[in-house]
Structure 1
C-alpha cells in the first residue's frame, strides 16, 4: 500500500459518516414533515373542498426550499416557539432565562414584583 491511501486504524476506530445523521427525505422534504403536510392538506380538503389539494403544489416546494440546507430547520423553529411560550419569568427579569427543569413554586424570587402605580 502506498502512504497516501494508508490509514491509521485500530480495532476500535470506525469511520464516521455524517450523512447518517440526516433525516430521510421524500422529494426533498423530511418524511415526517411530508406526512404531516399531506395529512393536514387531506383533512382540510375533506372539510372545505377538493381544491385544497392544490395547496400541496405550494407547500411542498416551500418546505423543500427551507429544509434544503438544514433538514432540522422546522425542529429548531418548534424549539424556539416552545421556549418562548414557556418563558414565564420574562417580566420579572426583563429578559429570558431557560432551564431544563422547572423551579419550585416555594422559591420567593419566582413571585413577580408588584407595581406601585
Structure 2
C-alpha cells in the first residue's frame, strides 16, 4: 500500500524540475487557476531532494503568477510507482532524481508517477501571494 504524503506550502523556486514543460500548457494551467481563484492540485515532489515528480506545468504557472508559496505533497520515492509515458524510455528513480539535481531535464511527459489517492484540496489563490 502506498503511504500518504505530507502536505506543505513551499516556495516554488525551492523545487527542482525533472522535465521540460510545454509553454502552451502553462498558459492553460494559469487560466484555470485564475478562473477558480484557487489551487486545487498540489505539486508532487520527492521529500529529500524536492525533485518534482508531477506538476511541472503547475510549478511554472506558480512562478509566472508570482506566487511565493505553493501546495506541495512530499513523497517517500520508494512508495511511488514510476513508469514512462514514452515506450522507448524507462527512467529509473536515480535518473529522475539526478535530472532534478543536475538541471538536465527529461523531455516533456517522459516520466509517469502513480500516487496514492489523496483528499481533494482547495487553497485560495490570495493566500499564496505576499
TM-score by length of 1: 0.24
Query: Which structure has the highest strand share of the two?
Result: 2
Query: Which structure has the highest helix share of the two?
Result: 1
TM-score by length of 2: 0.22
